[in-house]
Amino acid sequence: MVAISLPDGSVREFDGPVTGLRIAEDIGPGLAKAALAVTVDGTMVDLTLPIEADAEVSILTAKDEAALELLRHDAAHVMAQAVQELYPGTQVTIGPAIENGFYYDFAREEPFTPDDLGKIEARMVEIVKRDLPIVREVWGRDRAVEYFTSIGESYKAELIESIPGTEDIKIYRQGDWLDMCRGPHLPSTGKLGVHFKLMKLAGAYWRGDSRNPMLQRIYGTAWADKKQLANYLTMLEEAEKRDHRRLGQEMDLFHLQEEAQGAVFWHPKGWTVYRALQNYIRRRLDAADYVEVNTPMMVDRSLWEKSGHWEKFREHMFISEAEEKILAMKPMNCPCHIQIFRQGIKSYRDLPLRMAEFGACHRNEASGALHGLMRVRAFVQDDAHIFCTEDQIVSETQAFCALLKSVYKDLGFDEVKVKFSDRPDVRAGSDATWDKAEAALKEATDAAGLAWTLNPGEGAFYGPKLEFVLRDAIGRDWQCGTLQVDFVLPDRLGADYVGEDGDKHRPVMLHRAILGTFERFMGILIENCAGKFPLWLAPVQAVVSTITSDADNYAQEVFQALKAKGIRATLDVRNEKINYKVREHSVAKVPVILVVGKKEAEENTVAIRRLGGNVQEVLALADALDTLQLESVPPDLRG
RNA sequence: GCCGCCUUAGCUCAGGGGUAGAGCAACUGAUUCGUAAUCAGUAGGUCCGCGGUUCGAAUCCGCGAGGCGGCACCA
C-alpha cells in the first residue's frame, strides 16, 4: 500500500508502487494530459518513475515555474538531437537549462553559421511533432563509458568517468537518440511545445577552462506558451533601446574610439552628469567624515613589487619607462594611500582614518572583456580605504552599509543584495584573525538590515569581502559596491600606528566602494532610467522654446533667470514650429520644456511641459523658477 | 586572449565584379506657426586598413584592426 498526499491535503492510496502519471490519471484525464513531471517530497522527478513509499506528491504542469526549467532542459536535448541529425559527427557535451532558456555545447570542426540556427530550429519543431516518448534507463558506468566511446562521444565518456563510481548512470532515450543526463525529463518530446527560439552562437571552453578546447555553444529561449515567448522577445527589444552605448550616442553623452580602446571620451552633456554624480558622492563622503586625497597616477615598479601586485598582476598593468626607471600606471589607489598614512606618526586616536580618492586608474583588461562603459581600461572609482583597529571593523562596516544603502536609494535603486565571500583555501592571516573578521562582517551586515547570501571560498586572499548587487528597472543585477577586509597590505607596506599601550600596531584596512567605478555606474544609471535622468542629474534640465519671434526677448529673460537660479538651461529661438521643437527636445529627453509665446510674454508666465506628459501648466515666471529650483536640488541637499 | 558574426554618408541601413543609394541629420532659402517631424533646394563617400585575384574590386580571396554576441578574466 502506498499513500500519496496531494497539495490540497487529500490522500490517495494505491496498492503498490505508482507513477506520477497514474496519480494524475487517477485525479482526472485533463491533468494527466497536462502533467509534465511530479515533485515527490519536494524533489522533481520523471512522471514515469515509480514511487515506492508514502510520499507528498504534487503534479507539475506548464503553469509551474519549476516545470519551465524542465521544459528548457528538454529543449536543450531536442536541440542536441536536431543538431546530430543534421550534422553527423558533431559531439554533444553539456546542455543545461538557464535563466530564460537553455544552451548546449557542441564539439564540431566546422563552425555553425547563423543560417544553421534556422535549420536546427525547424528540425526541433519536427522532433516535437514526432512526439517521441522520452524513456529513462539506468546503465552501469562501464557500459556507458564503453558505449559513448564506441560512438565517438569522447566528451560524454569523459563526463561519465568523472561521476563518482557509486552513482547510477541515467540515460534518456527519445526515438533512436539518447543522452546521458541526470534528468528529470518530460514524458515525450511533444510536451515541449514549439515556444522556443534559438538566439545566438557563441564559443565556450570545455568545462569552463581556457586551457581546454573551445566548443560551440548555441543559446535558445523556451517558454510554456506563445504569449510568454512574445513577452520575453519584447522585453529584449526594450532592453536594447535603453542600451547605454546606444543612448550615449543618441544623447551625445560620450564616445569611444579605437585609438583609446577602453577609455571614454566624455562629451559636455555626459560629463555634466558625471560631475553631478561625483559631486554628490563627494558631499556624501564629506558628511560621513572621510578625507579626500589625490595620489600619483604613475608609480615606480618597486612599490608594486612590495605590494605584491607586480608579481600577480604585471600582465594587466600599463608600463612606462623614463630615465631607466619603470613606472606603472596605477591599477588601484590603495598602495598610494598607505604612503600617505605612513607619513609622520599615527596614533590610535587618528583611527578610524577614512581616506577617499577619485583617482584615475588603468588596467589592461583583455580586449574581449571590454564592453561600453561597463568594462573599461581607464576608470575612476569612488574609492576609499578605512584604516582602523580590528575592534572598529564592526562599526565601520555598519556605517558603510548604511551609507551605501542610502546612496543607492537616492540614485533610484531600492533592491540591494549582498554576497558574502568567506575564506578561500589559499589565504594569508591566521584562522583566529579570519574568524574575527568574518564574524565582524556578518554582524555588521545584519545590523545594517541587508540580506546576504554566502559565496563560499570566494573571499580575497587577504580577507573576507562583501559584494553589493543592485537590481535595475528591468530586473537585471549589477555588482557595484564592495567592502574588503585586508590584513595583508598594511603589513607588506609597513603601515602602523601607536596604540594606547605605547607600542606599534598594524591597522586593518577596509577597501570600499559604493558605485564601483563612475564609468560603469554611469552606464547602469543610463540604462536604469532609459536616458530620462532625474532632474538633478539631467545634463540639460530645461529648454526655453519660443512660439514666435515676438517672444524672443522675453525668452531670453526667462533663460537668464533660469541660469541665475543655477538651472542648466538652453534657449531655443529657432524659426521652427512649436511642434517641431517639442518633439526634438522630447526625443533628446530634456525633462522640462518652458514654452513661451506672445501670451506668456505679456502676462509674465511660462507654460511648463514635462517629459513624458502632454499637459501644460501655466505658471507665473517667479513661481516656475522657484519650483524648478526646488526640484533640481540633489537628494542629499533636500530639506 | 579564445570562438563566431559584423564594418557602405554625421546617424540608421539598402545594394553589390563595370560612374555609390534611401530616410533622418547638416547647409541654403521660403514660412512667424500654441505643445512629438512646414515646404523646397544644396552639399556630403579611401564602401574599416593592407595585400592578392581580375582588363576592371566597395563587391571575390588572404592578413590585420575595431565593434558586436558569448567564453575565459575582473587585484
Distance A574 CA to B42 C1' (A): 21
Query: Quick one: A542-637 is in which CATH superfamily?
Result: Anticodon-binding domain (3.40.50.800)
User: Across all residues in chain A, what is the average pLDDT?
Assistant: 94
pLDDT exceeds 90 at position A511: yes
pLDDT for A475 equals 80
pLDDT exceeds 90 at position A474: no
Q: Is A383 a catalytic residue?
A: yes
The arithmetic mean of pLDDT across residues A140-157, rounded, is: 94
Q: How many CA atoms lie within 13 A of A258 on its CB side?
A: 0
pLDDT for A617 equals 95
Task: For A261-294+331-528, give the CATH class.
Answer: alpha beta
pLDDT for A236 equals 92
pLDDT for A102 equals 97
Task: For A2-60, give the CATH class.
Answer: alpha beta
Q: Is A410 a catalytic residue?
A: no
pLDDT for A549 equals 94
The catalytic residue among A22, A170, A185, A511 is A511
Question: Which of A148-157, A252-261, A421-430, A611-620 has the least mean pLDDT?
Answer: A421-430
Joined together, the cell numbers standing for residue A23 give 496519480
Cβ of A484 less than 7 A from strand B: yes
Joined together, the cell numbers standing for residue A132 give 517521441
Which nucleotides of strand B lie within 7 A of protein CB?
A: 1-5, 11-12, 30-38, 65-75
Distance A276 CA to B10 C1' (A): 29
Instruction: Work out the percent of chain A whose per-residue pLDDT is above 90.
Output: 80
Cβ of A315 less than 7 A from strand B: no
Q: Which residues of A440-457 are buried (b: 16+ CB within 10 A; e: fewer)?
A: bbbebbeebebebeebee
Tell how far CA A380 is from the center of its chain.
19
Which of the nucleotides lies closest to A462 (Cα–C1')? B75
The catalytic residue among A242, A244, A385, A609 is A385
Is residue A177 within 8 Å of residue A82, measured between CB atoms? no
The full DSSP string for A396-437 is HHHHHHHHHHHHHHHTT---EEEEEE---SS--S-HHHHHHH
pLDDT exceeds 80 at position A165: no
What's the pLDDT tens digit per position in A522-559? 999 999 999 999 999 999 999 999 999 999 999 999 99
SS3 percent helix, strand, coil of chain A, rounded to 5, is 40, 30, 30
pTM over 0.90? The answer is yes
* Domain A67-239 = CATH 2.60.40.10: no
What's the pLDDT tens digit per position in A331-374? 999 999 999 999 999 999 999 999 999 999 999 999 999 999 99
The full DSSP string for A330-346 is -S-SHHHHHHHHHSS-E
Q: Is A363 a catalytic residue?
A: yes
In chain A, residues 352 through 381 whose Cβ sits under 7 angstroms from any atom of nucleic acid strand B:
363-372, 375
Domains of chain A by residue range = 2-60, 67-239, 261-294+331-528, 542-637
Quote the DSSP letter at residue A158. Answer: H
Cβ of A88 less than 7 A from strand B: no
Cβ of A211 less than 7 A from strand B: no
